[in-house]
Structure 1
Amino acid sequence: MLKITFPDGSIREYEKGVTGLQIAESISSRLAQDVLACGINGETVELNRPINEDATIQLYKWEDAEGKHAFWHTSAHLMAEAMQELWPGTQFGIGPAIENGFYYDVMPPEGISISESDFQKIEKKMQELATRKEVLVRQEIRKSDALKFFGNCGQHYKNELIEELEDGNITTYTQGNYTDLCRGPHLMSTAPIKAVKVMAVSSAYWRGDEKRPQMTRVYGVAFPKKKFLDEYLQLLEEAKRRDHRKIGKEMELFMFSDLIGKGLPMWLPKGTALRLRLEDFLKKIQKRYGYQQVITPHIGSKNLYVTSGHYAKYGKDSFQPIHTPEEGEEYMLKPMNCPHHCAIFSWKPRSYKDLPLRLAEFGTVYRYEQSGELHGLTRVRGFTQDDAHIFCRPDQVKDEFLRVMDIIMIIFSALKFDKFEAQISLRDKVNREKYIGSEDNWERAEQAIIEACKEKGLPAHIEYGEAAFYGPKLDFMVKDALGRRWQLGTIQVDYNLPERFQLEYTGSDNQKHRPVMIHRAPFGSMERFVAVLIEHTAGHFPLWLMPDQVAILPISDKFNDYAQKVCKILDEQDVRAYVDDRSEKIGRKIRDNEMKHVPYLLIVGEKEATENSVSVRKQGEGDQGSMNIADFAKKINDEVVEMTKNY
């Protein structure tokens, strides 16, 4: 008999060879119907995989990320099977599950080009195959047999992948007439797949290499109920409405120009005002928490990035060194701010009394992204990080984490990111060889992060093996208004750069010690953060943050002078307003300015000019009645004070 431990700590005994499905059936028939995959000792596997030793188990349903992953992974194979039947001779690359669905990279037969007009054809074939309830059969296979099988099928891309695998570690999955090289996990059969939708098609270089063949990437999504698909498509429509590229254009926040260069955003006046207000907001908080602001150049000596290791990571493929007229002198566009901050730390001798030293910078950095990967403000080649680096003693790490977490909580609260969780990334439990830094420092830092989350009452899950080689970290995952998860805010311990730059301070024992370095970026990058904020709020930012708080709309040209007078009075009271003096009907002006998400519209005509008043409309609430100009200005400022009094 085996002892199976459940997530709540309870233990049940089962016969050797029991499967996850049988365990689910022993609990309830309903659970057995709903469960899609299971976790055995932390590894997600199929429900029909035999268990031959004592183990922990988790049963994953559609609501669980692991359940969705197995569902969408099987759906990717189903789509490949459909394309194989529709276009015999198609070659297959890789077909993973992704955050929202799946894709498959394929090379159609010569003369075939898969386009949007083929989507319904693929969907119909997928539905037909799913109704056959084909069982997925997992097989462990020798490398030579795998090469022979896929070679005979003409699957050259699969053979390339197999060549890189170790013999004894190769598995295939077969459903119907389709066999794929795959590690899994999968559903037991295609039966649970009830609703499918092919979403998009694009080009993708094989293995992301621009020098390799260009394949066709087909994206899809699938669900266990048609209702779920309908809800998902509705969500996509709402996401289109909130697209930061669309709203950014309507609100005149930012632009791109091929003349400037791909992936290099230009902040327009209104966007600049928004961004600077965010920066001022964070600077004010940072000052309260003991940060010192610094400014470093946009370029640096190539040797700086060789020393830091960033040249090896970013230099060869991303940034060609900049040669000056002086022979042998080479510079690079700055890919990271941290090497510059290390140089500031080492500028003069440091004592333990100087620590922690907190250096902050809104520093612009440059990294190459393939043109096909660029996407509005979320994927760019030049971006500004709200970067800070804390140099501290090992015994100060926990307190510094707590202080950074305070800052992140203030930001999330002020900007109404109410749903968030954290991920703690620690070392692999077994393999410790790849990590630098002493065992004692790692233990202390990892424990400090765990304790800091507990003290703050922050929901956090631990991922072993996800730490960088140079230190553990804490990532904040935010859910936006559409339920999408975004990684915003990171706190990262670093033992690597202090070692590379030979940073040291004199301790209380009068000996030299290596400081611990903490990287911290609550926004991450200003570009990506603003993109997420736009889509979270649909452009309806908090009043204190809005580039334009008020639009003044004269009902005809003869009231333009009065509108300008109102604007001047509001400006003197620090209310951000502008006049829409176009020769348009007032209804058109109202619609146009509401499209720009301006919180308040002031209608002015003969009555308002006579009474020295304004007629107020509020975004989303309509007419608010007439008000004296000074009273309206006070109302706006009172609202801002009330919103920001805790920050």
Structure 2
Amino acid sequence: MAAPSASAPFLRSHPHRGSLFPSSPRHRPAAASLLGFPPRRPASSRRFPYTAVRSSSTASPSAPVEEAPAAAAPTGDAEEERVVLPTNESSETLLRIRHTCAHVMAMAVQKLFPNSKVTIGPWIENGFYYDFDMEPLTDKDLKKIKKEMDRIIRQNLPLVREEVSREEAQKRIEALNEPYKLEILESIKEEPITIYHIGEEWWDLCAGPHVESTGKINRKAVELESVAGAYWRGDEKNQMLQRIYGTAWENEDQLKAYINFKEEAKRRDHRRLGQDLDLFSIQGVPSAESSRSVQGLGKGVSGKPYPRLCNARRPRLEPGTFRSQADDAGGGLVFWHPKGAIIRHILEDSWKQIHLQHGYDLLYTPHVAKGDLWKISGHIDFYKENMYNQMDVEDEMYQLRPMNCPYHILVYKRKLHSYRDFPIRVAELGTVYRYELSGSLHGLFRVRGFTQDDAHIFCLEDRIKDEIRGVLDLTEKILGQFGFRYYEINLSTRPEKSVGTDDIWEKATIALKNALDDKGWEYKVDEGGGAFYGPKIDLKIEDALGRKWQCSTVQVDFNLPERFDITYVDSNSEKKRPIMIHRAILGSLERFFGVLIEHYAGDFPLWLAPTQARILPVTDNELQYCNEVASELKSRGLRVEVCHGERLPKLIRNAETQKVPLMAVAGRKEVQARTLTIRSRHNGEIGTMAVDEFITRLQLAVANKSSL
């Protein structure tokens, strides 16, 4: 067909050309069941109430299955509501629909707002978005845009691909006065340049793919969700754009299922639950209701950062919106309240015990160091944008640490090592500080100060596989405590730019593959996706909603041993370079805590609950007895509290609202018999038992990480 006139508007550049666009669909996270961990089926056939798996996961059959309330089903008959939700990976039709919806939306915007300038609009995990240079949009504007999109869809306009020269593309773009598109055109290196037309009136700089015509889109399966602010190319010095988010599916049932899924995710939002359950507070983060617009940049459900196309604007807090008492402290800094702090204490204590049992030595290292240390490590050269400014201390420059690795190397270098010393395993719960723009902060998932469960292993080349296998076993053991049994695993190999010899890269990569094969875990190979300093294994955990979160990583490093010139003496009394392995299992405690809150919906299992039982007197006459019982339970290491001052039904409701696992009721008969009547939040009335029996059963349940 003939090219439309040069006055036709256009949008979106090539989705797979250059760094402007999101990662390939293989990085899209998966979702699964609200009903816990059902038997695995092929991704194409698995059915869940609200969503379906997006990519294969590895089951860990040896991991313990904890009796955690994360598997609580949503209200309603899940069997009747089960709908398979395809993904961009599993359905090319869906990907084409979403891509075309981005075009249709931009066409609608430019019809309604002729002065708007278009930038980019990729498909994303659950839909699409598009960034416009225009005046701020309102909810009323979104309704108008959706109505215009419906009109375009009903017209059943064809989408036609056209190839043009770079000069012709530039000519058309300049005729439209679209500066952002000129910038995008400059970044495209391949030729010819491809354009997609919608009918005869609108076109776009784009590589596809698309549906054949707009009529292939089910307009009742498309919804515009929200508007956020976003900086062009992720630079806060650039123009603030208007980003419109939308979702698109193949049919109405899928859209309904997705909406239900969002509602369940909203119910589990760790920011809301953190406030309701008094677990933590964090500076400057709006309540869950008003925080959608901070998600233009941040971490998705897989834990992988969204593409750094923009930094979303931090929204103004509306009157009545929650602000923490820590507002004066500074942005992105977490305050752990007593209940959250006790959970962190349990996590840390368990982490330390397990590491000591597996041959690790614990470290504590400073939060600052001289700036020269970070020059040696290479952070100043390669990571400076994520670091805070240095501080002058008595004419020497000091730096808040962004990572723990250089400190562990300094501990290694404190003395000369022999080959007989290996392996050397050191671990630390080390707090680090990284610079984040205020608009990118997101609850516990993206903060400015956080504690990593960092560990480093120094070993010989021929022991890489054994050490990696040991890390995988330890990872399974630690994550299994929380009921995480399904993982998505990626092995990333040597990138184009790297350090180290071909021989050591090959040995390390084979060692990682062999360790995974020994473990029996399925994995995908991400060719060229490794760090410049070595290959790595990344592991994502699957939560109760089936969302995947990046937590664990194992990385072989050939760079830092060279930079810091660390050595050991081999059997021939010659100095050699050891292999260094970076390793984290939980990732950061803050982020992992946020994942746990959402995984359990704030309903922590008995062993992890900040308050394991509430002792409730029927009247104040039993209060003294309840206090005596509470003192006895606390002396046995159990976490209990006494609540009174209300009628018993309200005391029980309050305990259930606060998600306390057990309630121990004491009335006149219980005082006389020195007993308690036990009620479980999930199982109802358990019965009356002696105090000593209750203590014994409670201790056993905690030790076994089970319910009473």
Q: TM-score by structure 1 length?
A: 0.85
In structure 1, what residue type is equivalent to 2:646? Answer: E
1:641 partnered with 2:664? no
1:116 partnered with 2:139? yes
How many angstroms apart in 2 are the aligned matches of 1:66 and 1:506? Answer: 56
- Match of residue 234 from structure 1: 260
- Match of residue 27 from structure 1: none
SS at match of 2:262: helix
Contact in 1 for aligned 2:455/2:583 (Cα 8 Å):
yes
Contact in 2 for aligned 1:314/1:367 (Cα 8 Å):
no
Per-residue deviation at 1:644?
A: 7.9
Equivalent residue in structure 1 for 2:348, among 267, 276, 279: 279
- 1:249-260 residue pairs with structure 2 within 5 A? 249-256=275-282, 257-260=326-329
Equivalent residue in structure 1 for 2:413, among 346, 368, 391: 346
Structure 1, unaligned runs of 5 or more: 1-59
Per-residue deviation at 1:641?
A: 2.4
Equivalent residue in structure 2 for 1:599, among 661, 674, 679: 661
1:175 partnered with 2:195? no
Structure 1 residues 410 and 160: alpha-carbon distance in aligned structure 2, compared to 1, 3 A threshold: same
Per-residue deviation at 1:128?
A: 2.8
Contact in 2 for aligned 1:414/1:644 (Cα 8 Å):
no
Encode CA deviations 1:506-564: one digit per residue, 9 max, x unaligned. 22232222222111110000011111111111122222111110111223333221221
1:457 partnered with 2:520? yes
SS at match of 2:383: helix
- Match of residue 165 from structure 1: 188
In structure 2, what residue type is equivalent to 1:103? Answer: Y
Per-residue deviation at 1:113?
A: 2.8
1:141 partnered with 2:208? no
1:519 partnered with 2:582? yes
Q: Give the stretch that moved more between structures: 355-364 or 623-632.
A: 623-632
In structure 1, what residue type is equivalent to 2:522? Answer: P
Encode CA deviations 1:136-179: one digit per residue, 9 max, x unaligned. 33333332222221221221111122223336263332223332
Encode CA deviations 1:589-637: one digit per residue, 9 max, x unaligned. 2222212211101122222222211121111222222221111111111
- Match of residue 21 from structure 1: none
Encode CA deviations 1:193-234: one digit per residue, 9 max, x unaligned. 321111111111111111111111111110001100000000
Contact in 2 for aligned 1:106/1:216 (Cα 8 Å):
yes
Equivalent residue in structure 2 for 1:414, among 481, 484, 488: 481
- Match of residue 627 from structure 1: 689
How many angstroms apart in 2 are the aligned matches of 1:422 and 1:96? Answer: 26
- 1:413-492 residue pairs with structure 2 within 5 A? 413-428=480-495, 432=496, 434-492=497-555
Structure 1 residues 186 and 513: alpha-carbon distance in aligned structure 2, compared to 1, 3 A threshold: farther
1:543 partnered with 2:606? yes
Structure 1 residues 133 and 505: alpha-carbon distance in aligned structure 2, compared to 1, 3 A threshold: farther
1:493 partnered with 2:562? no
Equivalent residue in structure 1 for 2:432, among 365, 374, 390: 365
Cα root mean square deviation, aligned: 2.0
SS at match of 1:219: strand
- Match of residue 561 from structure 1: 624
Equivalent residue in structure 2 for 1:129, among 152, 164, 174: 152
- Match of residue 227 from structure 2: 201
Encode CA deviations 1:443-499: one digit per residue, 9 max, x unaligned. 111111112111111121111121111111111122211121111211111111111
- Match of residue 32 from structure 1: none
Structure 1 residues 492 and 539: alpha-carbon distance in aligned structure 2, compared to 1, 3 A threshold: same
Per-residue deviation at 1:70?
A: 4.1
- Match of residue 675 from structure 2: 613
Equivalent residue in structure 2 for 1:334, among 397, 401, 417: 401
- Match of residue 552 from structure 1: 615
Per-residue deviation at 1:65?
A: 4.8
How many angstroms apart in 2 are the aligned matches of 1:185 and 1:167? Answer: 17
- Match of residue 64 from structure 1: 89
How many angstroms apart in 2 are the aligned matches of 1:317 and 1:290? Answer: 33
Per-residue deviation at 1:575?
A: 1.6
SS at match of 1:478: strand
How many angstroms apart in 2 are the aligned matches of 1:95 and 1:509? Answer: 61
Contact in 1 for aligned 2:387/2:402 (Cα 8 Å):
no
Per-residue deviation at 1:418?
A: 2.2
- Match of residue 13 from structure 1: none
Contact in 2 for aligned 1:482/1:536 (Cα 8 Å):
yes
1:219 partnered with 2:281? no
Q: Give the stretch that moved more between structures: 271-280 or 92-101.
A: 92-101
Per-residue deviation at 1:292?
A: 0.7
In structure 2, what residue type is equivalent to 1:150? Answer: I
Contact in 2 for aligned 1:143/1:166 (Cα 8 Å):
no
Q: Give the stretch that moved more between structures: 248-257 or 469-478.
A: 248-257
Structure 1 residues 196 and 514: alpha-carbon distance in aligned structure 2, compared to 1, 3 A threshold: same
Contact in 2 for aligned 1:553/1:603 (Cα 8 Å):
yes
How many angstroms apart in 2 are the aligned matches of 1:494 and 1:140? Answer: 45
Residues paired across the two proteins, number? 576
In structure 2, what residue type is equivalent to 1:224? Answer: E
1:247 partnered with 2:289? no
Contact in 1 for aligned 2:605/2:661 (Cα 8 Å):
no
Question: More relative contact order in 1 or in 2 (CA 8 Å, sep 6+)?
Answer: 2
In structure 2, what residue type is equivalent to 1:278? Answer: L
In structure 2, what residue type is equivalent to 1:513? Answer: K
The structure 1 segments of at least 4 consecutive aligned residues displaced by more than 4 Å after TM superposition are 60-63
How many angstroms apart in 2 are the aligned matches of 1:273 and 1:61? Answer: 40
Structure 1 residues 463 and 70: alpha-carbon distance in aligned structure 2, compared to 1, 3 A threshold: farther
How many angstroms apart in 2 are the aligned matches of 1:302 and 1:184? Answer: 47
Equivalent residue in structure 2 for 1:302, among 357, 371, 374: 371
Contact in 1 for aligned 2:568/2:576 (Cα 8 Å):
yes
Contact in 2 for aligned 1:126/1:196 (Cα 8 Å):
no
In structure 2, what residue type is equivalent to 1:271? Answer: G
SS at match of 2:267: helix
In structure 1, what residue type is equivalent to 2:490? Answer: Q
Per-residue deviation at 1:188?
A: 4.0
How many angstroms apart in 1 are the aligned matches of 2:403 and 2:232? Answer: 29
How many angstroms apart in 2 are the aligned matches of 1:93 and 1:63? Answer: 22
Structure 1 residues 440 and 639: alpha-carbon distance in aligned structure 2, compared to 1, 3 A threshold: same
Equivalent residue in structure 2 for 1:529, among 586, 592, 606: 592
How many angstroms apart in 2 are the aligned matches of 1:454 and 1:644? Answer: 32
Encode CA deviations 1:291-340: one digit per residue, 9 max, x unaligned. 1101110111111111111122333564111111x22x001111000011
Encode CA deviations 1:87-124: one digit per residue, 9 max, x unaligned. 2231112112222222111112xxx4312222322223
In structure 2, what residue type is equivalent to 1:303? Answer: D
In structure 1, what residue type is equivalent to 2:174? Answer: G
Q: TM-score by structure 2 length?
A: 0.78
* Structure with the higher strand share, 1 or 2: 1
Identity of aligned residues (%): 43
In structure 1, what residue type is equivalent to 2:397? Answer: E
